[in-house]
């Protein structure tokens, strides 16, 4: 996967993640009659698998939505954090590894060249 593909996937994952959070917030607010802050709090606690238990759906529709939303949401959050980790790795560590790799190759070529001339003599 090249850097551009990863960047596009990461942007898409951010959009899906935010859509998921907003959807959960609005649906819980509508179904349960919660304030938006409480709905957002419950949504984040659910999809991150924290699940404090201090707020729980009371309506049957809220409970049914939570069952499906949990499976989808938890999977999407793990996907988001996996891509986030890959993105950070590619941005920081890969450049450093390339620098060290290039230095090592240069060193090997230089020593191989020196050894070749020493053997010729």
Q: What is the pLDDT of residue 117?
A: 60
Using a 10 angstrom Cβ sphere, with 0-12 exposed, 13-18 middle and 19 or more buried, the burial of residue 23 is middle
Q: Domain limits of the chain?
A: 3-91
Reduced to 3 states (helix: H, G, I; strand: E, B; else coil), residue 72 is helix
pLDDT tier at 102 (50, 70, 90 boundaries)? confident
- Worst-scoring range by mean pLDDT, 3-7, 28-32, 83-87? 3-7
Class of domain 3-91: mainly alpha
Express each pLDDT in 7-60 by its tens digit.
788 888 889 999 999 999 999 999 999 999 999 999 999 999 998 899 999 999
């Amino acid at each position: 996967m090249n850097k551009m593909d990863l960047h596009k996937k990461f942007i898409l994952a951010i959009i899906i993640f935010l859509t998921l959070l907003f959807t959960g917030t609005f649906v819980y607010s509508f179904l349960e009659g919660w304030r938006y802050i409480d709905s957002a709090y419950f949504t984040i606690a659910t999809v991150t698998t924290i699940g404090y238990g201090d707020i729980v759906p009371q309506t049957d529709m809220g409970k049914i939505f939570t069952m499906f939303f949990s499976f989808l949401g938890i999977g999407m959050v793990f996907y988001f954090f996996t891509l986030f980790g890959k993105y950070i790795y590619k941005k920081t560590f890969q450049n450093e590894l390339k620098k060290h790799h290039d230095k090592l190759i240069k060193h090997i070529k230089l020593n191989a060249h020196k050894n070749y001339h020493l053997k010729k003599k």
